[in-house]
Amino acid sequence: MKKVLYLLLTFSVLLSACNWFKTTPEVGLVLSKHFNDKLYKDFDTAAYNVVFNRHFDSLKSTLSNPKVIGSYYSAQEHRTDLVTRFFTNGELDTLKNYISASTSHGFNPEIFRYTALNALLSKLSAHQFKSIADVYPVIADLELTAAASLLKYDTFIGYGSIIPRKVLNRYYVSTIRPDSASMLKVLESKSLAQLLRSIQPAGEDYLSLERELANLKKSPSVNAAAIKAIEVNMERLRWKIAGIGDEYVEVNIPDFSLTWFSHQDTVTHMKVCVGGRREKDYEEKMKVFLKTHSLDDKPKNHQTPILLSKFNSIQVNPVWNIPVSIAQSEIYYQAMRDPYYLSNNNMRVYYKGQLIADPDTIQWRKYPREHLPFQFKQGSGEGNALGKFKFIFDNGSSIYLHDTNNKSAFMQSNRAISHGCVRVERPLEFAEKLVDNKYQYDQLRMEVNLPPIDTTKMAIYQKRLAKKADTVNVYQVKPKWFGTKKNVAVFINYKTAWAENGRIEFRNDIYDLDDAIYTAMKKFR
């Protein structure tokens, strides 16, 4: 009996030593079948994992998204995942080919590790290994390189290579960026080819710029400025912006224009005036101001911010709450030079919330403009800088669209002349499209002394005119608010190149924002 047990034990040890009971992992079976070579059936997961961990540690500092990659491969069955699923069916070669073509998006393929990926694919395809141990480092490096390349390609092509808020001054639009959960889904994709197709920007504006870029690159030195503009604006189009909706008003700062879109159709288009560019050498001058705190050293910056919001109201016959910066830099000096400037321009002065009855008597020289204790408002009516209409939406920069009493400004070619808000060329037309219904529009028209469209309201209109013309009981114009259509977004944007009517339109980079983006993208070109 003891002899039988001894023989059985010896036999089981021999079986174990000969790997008779060992199961070949899927990667070994897939490669063995693909190359018709039993070598890969000797694939030992435990031995490979040691090699994989060592290579991951050595490559970690050079990989994009190392935490996500580390999290994904913490599961042992994932450590040959991309090679197992996508090497033999050619989809890792598809990834390589997409990366090679990334020049069409303005990128250098090397930022996606093209050379390394190509070399590893070639090495595995060459199938010249003397032992299974020689295979492990190639598969480990290919797995990690493919994962890093894929994640970076998905981010750059699908979402943009930069985070605009980190690069641009006064950029207040939330852009969607991939998080760890979405990156893990990318690595878990069932079809790499299908995923790569879905990543490509599909908008006609982007595709038009992409085609133009290919043409311009035939003579890169001649077309350097245009190439720069195209690449920067393709980057802008890659940024994923949520919350615009199907109906929105876009103000394009460099074009000095406003366009109302509804399901891609243009509802209206008109000129606008935007904020003036900030003072030359602004950054250096700001450093001086932060040291001296003297307003004489403070550089001007009236640039209109880039933002996204939704209209919520129209103020007719608006009151202009004059910003502190304008009071300090302009109103203060005007009032000092002309004691009647304030009353002649319908401006009221408040001290601790109380209206000063006769502001023309204020001794301005007693008050340093750095510490003016007054607040200023310009009343409704003729001469108001905001005109007759103010179009309001929530934002943290006190920006709005408005009418103006200076209509001649729309005849200028460079209309970067405001303090930051956006002046609209045809405010009445804009108001008509923005109010909720025809009844409101008629009420709005009568507030600015225009007859209603509905002739049955003419009696009401005539009565209002008579009241305003009464010389005994002086009529005081006051602001009135009207609601707007729901969910009409306003997108104050900045585009210097775009497709229109079969051609590419270019505009000057008036705020030097293209330069900022291009500089941030340079390392990827």
Q: What whole-number distance in Å separates Cα of residue 494 and Cα of residue 506?
A: 12
| Residue 6: exposure state from Cβ atoms within 10 A (0-12, 13-18, ≥19) | exposed
pLDDT, residue 3, reads: 55
pLDDT of residue 434: 97
Q: pLDDT digits over 176-189, tens only?
A: 999 999 999 999 99
Phi, then psi, of 462 in degrees rounded to 5: -60, -40
Rounded CA-CA distance 407/107 in Å is 44
Among 50-59, 155-164, 322-331, where is mean pLDDT lowest? 322-331
Domain range list for the chain: 26-199
How does the average pLDDT of the chain come out, rounded? 92
Q: Is the pLDDT of residue 242 over 60?
A: yes
Calpha distance 55→73 (Å, rounded): 12
Mean pLDDT of 337-346: 90
- Asked whether the predicted pLDDT for residue 21 surpasses 60, the reply is no
Q: What's the whole-number mean pLDDT along residues 209-225?
A: 97
CA-to-CA separations, 363 to 367, 374, 375, 414, 494, in angstroms, rounded: 8, 12, 15, 38, 44
Q: pLDDT tens for residues 255-264?
A: 999 999 998 8
pLDDT, tens digit, for every residue of 22-44? 699 999 999 999 999 999 999 99
For the segment 154-159, the average pLDDT, to the nearest whole number, is 97
Mean pLDDT of all residues in 106-114: 97
Burial (Cβ within 10 Å: 0-12, 13-18, ≥19) of residue 200: middle
pLDDT band at 15 (very low <50, low <70, confident <90, very high): very low
- Residue 134 corresponds to which tokens in the numbers above? 């020689």
Find the catalytic residue in 55, 105, 273, 421.
Answer: 421
**Model-level pTM greater than 0.95?**
no
pLDDT band at 11 (very low <50, low <70, confident <90, very high): very low
pLDDT at residue 13, rounded to an integer: 44
Would you state the pLDDT for residue 154? 98
Q: Kindly tell me if the per-residue pLDDT of 518 is higher than 80.
A: yes
Contact yes or no for 172/305 (Cβ under 8 A): yes
pLDDT at residue 190, as a whole number: 95
Beta-ladder partners of 376:
349
The predicted-structure confidence for 82-101, as pLDDT tens digits, reads as follows 999 999 999 999 999 999 99
Band the pLDDT of 513: cuts 50, 70, 90: very high
- The pLDDT assigned to 14 comes to 46
pLDDT for residue 297: 87
pLDDT at residue 9 is higher than 50: no
Q: What is the model's pLDDT at position 296?
A: 86
Query: Pick the catalytic residue: 105, 302, 402, 419?
Result: 402
What pLDDT sits at residue 471?
Answer: 66
Across 341-350, average pLDDT: 91
Q: What is the mean pLDDT of residues 416-444?
A: 96
Of 16-20, 188-192, 275-279, 311-315, which range is least confident?
16-20
For the cut 80, the answer to whether the pLDDT of residue 484 exceeds it is yes
pLDDT at site 8: 46
Per the annotation, the verdict on 273 as an active-site residue is no
Asked whether the beta carbons of 160 and 235 are under 8 A apart, the reply is yes
What integer pLDDT is reported at residue 295 of this predicted model?
Answer: 87
